Structure 1
């Protein structure tokens, strides 16, 4: 009986940790997000790879922006990374961008912004920085229209969360 109670308590504890991580690790929308585009002059270069889901529309003509940064307030912002003429963000594809901005510490948040009518589903966003380790954010979600949507794992969230991998 004592072993069964111990097992049940252990199972309940592990289940609550898994459940908490799945809640924390989901991307979320922000009603307001302050983009600091005047800070974007900097000497660091970032490579950003974005994988569009195979469940995304064949391609999107929507306007796509990205912002990412660290826990110390350093923010990198790219107002338009889309290019409908070159068919960026086709379904089942990966697009890679070179973005310049201020040098950051370890990147722990990323938000995408979409404006348009086509829709777009993102699988992953991976950011490679010159002075930081590469980090992958797992979206697997449609980006809502006219909202910043993403992750903020800077404040009190473990880097071992299921939605972020630091390499």
Structure 2
């Protein structure tokens, strides 16, 4: 009986942990993000490579206008307007496109937002960013980008999210251990 209850609690613990992690890593609309705030104080001093993979669930091709903005936790922001080019078959279903972008030098890239204008729709699978003196980072979208909205990830404060997750995890472990010890296992 106690072993079955312990197994149930461990299952609930695993489920809670996976839900907490997945909610942190979901793309979202950035209502307060405004590309006009981007400061180009050292414009053109560093080069970045973006590899954008379009999902096989995306429309066959898109004529939509697609822009991307990304940066670090210190306010260094890079903006790439109009990555789309329908004549070159950019952002076709089940494809990857590579872009070279110049912009201000940044530390570790921790956020990316995509902006789409048009009627066709577009579903990126991943956006991978390589930069000078930074680790490559991959953002997993796998969802349609809403029209006329900056949509993506901001993991710049992920350490506080990780801390909240760790506190939550410790609390659950203590509860499970307390329960198990109260039954004399």
TM-score higher than 0.5: yes
- Structure (1/2) with the larger strand percentage: 1
Structure 2 Cα separation of the partners of residues 116 and 32 of structure 1 = 21
**Structure 2 portions without partners, runs of 5+:** 163-185
Structure 2 Cα separation of the partners of residues 132 and 84 of structure 1 = 31
> Which consecutive aligned stretches of 4+ in structure 1 deviate over 6 angstroms post-superposition?
none
* TM-score normalised by length of structure 2: 0.80
Shift of 1:32: 3.3
Answering whether residue 149 of structure 2 is matched by residue 135 of structure 1, we say no
Report 1:15-34 matches (<5 A).
15-34=15-34
* 2:117 aligned residue: 115
Structure 2 vs 1, CA of residues 29 and 22 (structure 1 numbering), >3 Å: closer, same or farther?
Answer: same
Give the counterpart of 1:77 among 76, 79, 88. 79
**Structure 1 portions without partners, runs of 5+:** 159-167
Shift of 1:37: 4.1
Tell me if structure 1 keeps the 8 A contact 2:55–2:95: yes
Tell me if structure 1 keeps the 8 A contact 2:27–2:153: yes
Give the length in aligned residue pairs.
158
* TM-score normalised by length of structure 1: 0.88
- Structure (1/2) with the larger helix percentage: 2
Shift of 1:115: 0.4
Structure exhibiting the larger radius of gyration computed from Cα positions: 2
